[in-house]
Structure 1
Amino acid sequence: MASSLAEEPCEACTSDDEPLIEKEYIKYLNKINNVWEVIDNHHLEGEYPFEDFRDALEFTYEIGELAEEEWHHPDIQLQWGEVKVEMWTHKIDGLHKTDFVMAARMDQIHEEYAPD
């Protein structure tokens, strides 16, 4: 699921920004893969399936590189056949548009691992 949201910049928030509320974040949630859900109106959680451990490991490395590049670091749990990602903007202790941009970019990376 390619998303134009993935092409948008990851803009850092300021301490003056407020976390997104449901009516604000729902438009972004609808633009990312359905592996993602918003938990407690606070953070995003996604679970990506894989055919094996190696692909899951390589995906984890790639999203780690993305996180370093954008300086926006998710929590990542790697296991055989699955990578779980949890993400929110710590500076505002909640969701920011950047969280959804990162999720859309992770979705694009995951497409490379989809079986033919």
Structure 2
Amino acid sequence: MTSLTEQRCKPCEGGIAPLSLSEAQSLMKQLSDVWKLAADGRSIRAEWKFRNFYHAMSFVNAVAHIANAEDHHPDLEVGYGYCRMTYNTHAIGGLSQNDFICAAKVDALPRT
């Protein structure tokens, strides 16, 4: 099995079913504990704390690079010393493999 960080996102314009709750729970095992699965199984969310705004923005810029490279974008909340991130695939109203691929790549980013 190829790790999530080695996979690439596939275009999703809708027309496919979102992952089931059990499929999402299985993929959660490949992510760090910072990620939480929504009770309805339609999104994953994480929050990080940073020393200051500069470090938070450096992290967000690295996330933006991943998002653009994969053409799959999270919802972000950013402020002084924190970043909150939510992934879901809007076109299907739930989670896809793409959300977990990107979350795993975010997990691989260095933290300062």
TM-score, L = length of structure 2: 0.89
**Mapping of 1:75-90 within 5 angstroms?**
75-90=75-90
Task: Give 2:111's aligned residue.
Answer: 113
Q: Which residue of 2 aligns with 1:10?
A: 9
Which stretches of structure 1, 4 residues or longer, exceed 3 Å deviation after superposition? none
Q: Distance in 2 between matches of 1:69 and 1:93?
A: 22
Q: How far did residue 64 of structure 1 move?
A: 1.0
Name the TM-score, length of structure 1 as normaliser.
0.86
Q: Distance in 1 between matches of 2:13 and 2:101?
A: 17
Q: Measure, in 2, the Cα distance between the counterparts of 1:12 and 1:68.
A: 13
**Structure 2 residues not aligned, in runs of 5+:** none
Q: Which moved more, 1:11-20 or 1:78-87?
A: 11-20
The answer to whether residue 49 in structure 2 is matched with residue 49 in structure 1 is yes
Instruction: Name 1:33's counterpart in structure 2.
Output: 32
Return the alpha-carbon distance in structure 2 between the equivalents of residues 6 and 78 of structure 1.
24
Identity %: 30
Amino acid at match of 1:82: Y
Would you say how many aligned residue pairs link Structure 1 and Structure 2? 110
State yes or no: 1:92 paired with 2:92. yes
Q: Which residues of structure 1 form unaligned runs of 5+?
A: none
The CA RMSD over aligned residues, in Å, is 1.6
